[in-house]
């Protein structure tokens, strides 16, 4: 299988963090750039729960990888500043 691009490698190089927060009827999943603290993607409440129910986000050891894979598949850039300049 072909190796992913260097952009994909950035997702896994410790430059971004995947965080979660769940409490009773609240749910939160986000991807954040460590250096700037900028949020690259986030899912709240029903949207976050739906991602698990639809199988896009996996539980357990594969959770972080599944969130990153989903963001990558939709072209969410791990370079937020570069994305803004293009517009």
| CA 86 vs CA 1, 6, 43, 76, 82: distances in Å | 31, 19, 25, 14, 7
The answer to whether residue 84 scores a pLDDT higher than 90 is: no
Q: How much is the average pLDDT of 5-9?
A: 50
pTM (predicted TM-score) = 0.72
Residue 58 main-chain phi, psi, to 5 deg? -100, 155
pLDDT of residue 20: 94
* pLDDT level of residue 75 (50, 70, 90 thresholds): confident
Phi-psi region of 69 (alpha: psi -120 to 50; beta: other; left: phi over 0): alpha
Distance of CA 19 to the CA centre of its chain: 9
The answer to whether residue 86 scores a pLDDT higher than 80 is: no
pLDDT digits (tens, 9 = 90+) for 13-55: 678 889 999 999 999 999 998 888 888 899 999 999 999 999 9
More confident residue, 27 or 7: 27
Domains of the chain: 6-80 (3.30.67)
């Amino acid at each position: 299988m072909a190796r992913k691009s260097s952009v994909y490698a950035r997702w896994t190089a410790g430059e971004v963090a995947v965080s979660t927060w769940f409490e009773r009827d609240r749910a939160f999943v986000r991807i954040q750039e460590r250096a700037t603290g900028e949020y690259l993607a986030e899912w709240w409440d029903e949207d976050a729960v739906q991602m698990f129910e639809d199988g896009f986000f996996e539980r357990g050891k594969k959770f972080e990888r599944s969130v990153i894979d989903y963001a990558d598949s939709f072209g969410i850039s791990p370079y937020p500043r570069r994305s803004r300049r293009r517009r």
